[in-house]
Structure 1
């Protein structure tokens, strides 16, 4: 553990067993962590508060030298003791299986979703529910990333304790470097989908639309998950292209050049890619499920069913609407609400409140 003076009170920020930063939980942890670390010198000097990040060995040092680091180990799932108490402990996601340190102050958990409630397997739902209820019993304050998630927490877990809703930010990649996707022509219209392509992300709806719309090109991207690789190996549609493991520069290029962004996901706690696409002023097409209507608002178009004829009607209408003057500017204004600086400021304000500090 790296410490910066024993006199400071300490706040622990736990990433748990996150090892990769390319998914939604990783992006949340990275963006929030960077902003907390940037404020660490001020908090130490002004308030006598030091921040320690609790993470896997390979991520030690990720947030610079102005914060401390605690290493995750498997025994912390059973017993977690630190030499000095923590004034506050924040677990960045509800899948964190490590315990907060014994004797710490307020225990905060950010809940991103309760998507296990929508799993088709009764055993999977029971197993996750049992673990999540145990987590809630050792939590003092919950933050939900959407009102939908907050409602799930209250309704399904029976949570009656303190609860805040703090929306995620979403990066604006408009000014970033761009790199073309291999084999994708910039001068041909294409519809873009980005996800890990698990069944809950509903890539099948995109593929069924592609099969019924041979004149339109479809580009599906995401990490090289087992689900995504299986689809790439088995789908044989001439107008569908898979590009897996894309860089941020390639993602920015795809957002900038696509005709529209398809995200028919069935279970989401927030949904970062639709807002990233909106930063580019693109028409975004979402499932009317879980939190997506809350996040997309009036700036998105919605699938109420997923047969190809229905999705084609929604997409056609949205692409026509996108030709109207002012459409892109309105979509970009909606996306601007979801800002990582604003998100981090809300978390830091919560820390101050729970620590009994004056507003910063």
Structure 2
């Protein structure tokens, strides 16, 4: 039994902190930074990292953070076998897993941080290999004590599919990094450097994220083709996946000169790429949360998003919505912003207000509170069980 004055040993799956899927890396990095920064005397933090990041990690994290290095094997296998083994060795009290939980060790409180289960309702956007891999996430989620997810939309999806755990599914919204700022916060030299680096036009629509079918870039490009009365280009920032339909359409409509594919953009460049945009567009078919629209809002850029899944929950009334299946509607909402300066300014101001509702500090504090309450509940239950019966 742990004394009440002892710190909770919190193990965090941070293998994506330095490298990993772009969205996963961003979430892990921001949450871990805030947990370390805002954590109090209740916690002793242990980070699970990969061996290849050892030198970088040892010079990066403060000395009071315990670092545990693991081989760079798939996250599923690492979380099933290596993380639990290290949990036993280091006598960790609470484990915060990324996506894949584990069936052991029994004594540790297991919390699965599951970003989304979109593949259950939208299998058409995933390969068979991806769907098979993610189904294991659902299988092992049932072994967790608690699940944290990122929107009420995803919580409802999990409940619909019968994903239940003893301490329930709890929602903690993502935050926005404070480094995202409006254009007036930057000096002229930095602006000109980014313009030259990415060959940015004076006016451009911006999309940030993966370039795949689920994100509906084909709908956005079709909308661009309808906006013939504006001197406007489209900048697509993100890693390109296999998307032959998009390439075929761009070629058939001779749109290559109106579109800039940047590929992966370093975070430091991304801030200004947002701030320089005229309108941010996010016509995705399905999102568990959808952080890029909020990042754009914090940069003072008005936003057009799809009216599906978590988008209305996250964006509220600060954006214009469009049916992602209708490129005419997407084009119309963009045109409304470009043609009506009063509406444009209104959505910029509403965007600032909406973005202020989300912060990584708030997210980290909510997660730590959930952990504290869950651990206290388990300790109290264990103490009650240990009391002799009269």
Q: TM-score range by the shorter chain?
A: 0.7 to 0.9
Which residue in the other structure is 1:31 paired with?
Answer: 30
Q: Secondary structure at the match of 1:323?
A: helix
Secondary structure of the residue aligned to 1:269 is: coil
Indicate the residue corresponding to 1:165 in structure 2: 171
Partner of 2:384: none
Cα distance, 1:133–1:327 mapped onto 2, change above 3 Å: closer
Q: Which deviates further from its counterpart, 298-307 or 98-107?
A: 98-107
Shift in Å, 1:329: 2.0
SS in 2 for 1:258: coil
Deviation of the 1:200 alpha carbon: 1.1
Match status 1:210 vs 2:253: no
Closer, same or farther: CA 183–144 of 1 in aligned 2, 3 Å: closer
CA distance in 2 between partners of 1:326 and 1:123 (Å): 44
**When the two structures are superposed, what TM-score results if normalisation uses the length of structure 1?**
0.84
C-alpha root-mean-square deviation of aligned residues, in Å?
A: 3.0
Q: Deviations over 1:107-148 (max 9, x none)?
A: 111121112121216956862564133222210011111101
Q: What are the residue-to-residue correspondences of 1:4-43 with 2, within 5 Å?
A: 9-16=8-15, 20=19, 23-39=22-38, 42-43=40-41
1:352 to 2:376 alignment: no
Unpaired runs of at least 5, structure 2: 1-5, 378-390
- Where structure 1 has 5 or more consecutive residues not aligned to the other structure, the ranges are 1-6
Kindly report which structure 2 residues correspond to 1:280-295, keeping only aligned pairs within 5 A, or say none: 280-295=299-314
Q: Which residue of 1 aligns with 2:385?
A: none
Q: In the alignment, does 2:334 pair up with 1:315?
A: yes
Cα shift at 1:217: 1.2
CA distance in 2, matches of 1:72, 1:148: 34
What are the within-5 Å matches in structure 2 for residues 266-305 of structure 1?
Answer: 266-305=285-324
Task: Give the number of equivalent residue pairs.
Answer: 341
Match of 1:99 in 2: 102
Q: How far apart, CA to CA, are the structure 2 residues paired with 1:226 and 1:159?
A: 33
Equivalent-residue separation in structure 1 for 2:53 and 2:300 (angstroms): 34
Shift, 1:33, TM fit: 0.4
**Residues 33 and 160 of structure 1: CA distance in aligned 2, closer, same or farther (over 3 Å):** closer
- Structure label with greater radius of gyration: 2
Structure-to-structure mapping, 1:142-291, within 5 angstroms = 142-159=147-164, 161=166, 162-172=168-178, 173-174=180-181, 175=185, 178=191, 179-181=193-195, 182=197, 184-185=199-200, 188-214=202-228, 215=230, 216-223=232-239, 225-227=240-242, 235-236=250-251, 237=255, 238-291=257-310
Rounded Cα–Cα distance in structure 2 between residues aligned with 1:228 and 1:13: 35
User: Per the alignment, do residues 18 and 326 of structure 1 end up closer, same or farther by CA in structure 2, a change over 3 Å counting?
Assistant: closer
Partner Cα distance (1:38, 1:197) in 2: 34
1:196 and 1:228 in contact (8 A); partners too: no
Query: 1:65 and 1:321 mapped to 2: Cα distance?
Result: 54
Per-residue CA deviation, residues 225-281 of structure 1 (Å, 9 max, x unaligned), is: 444899679944121111122233432222222110011111211111110100122
* Counterpart position of 1:55: 49
- Counterpart check, 1:72 vs 2:78: no
Partner of 1:342: 362
Aligned to 2:386: none
Indicate if the aligned counterparts of 1:283 and 1:322 stay in contact, CA closer than 8 A.
Answer: no
Using the TM superposition, give the Cα deviation of residue 38 of structure 1 relative to its aligned residue in structure 2, in angstroms.
2.2
CA distance in 1, matches of 2:50, 2:366: 26
Structure with more of its chain in helix, by fraction: 2
Q: Residue 108 of structure 1: which of 102, 105, 111 is its match?
A: 111
SS at match of 1:242: strand
What is the CA–CA distance in structure 2 between the aligned matches of 1:286 and 1:297, rounded to whole Å?
11
Matched, 1:332 2:352: yes
Deviation (angstroms), 1:185: 4.3
- TM-score normalized by the length of structure 2: 0.78
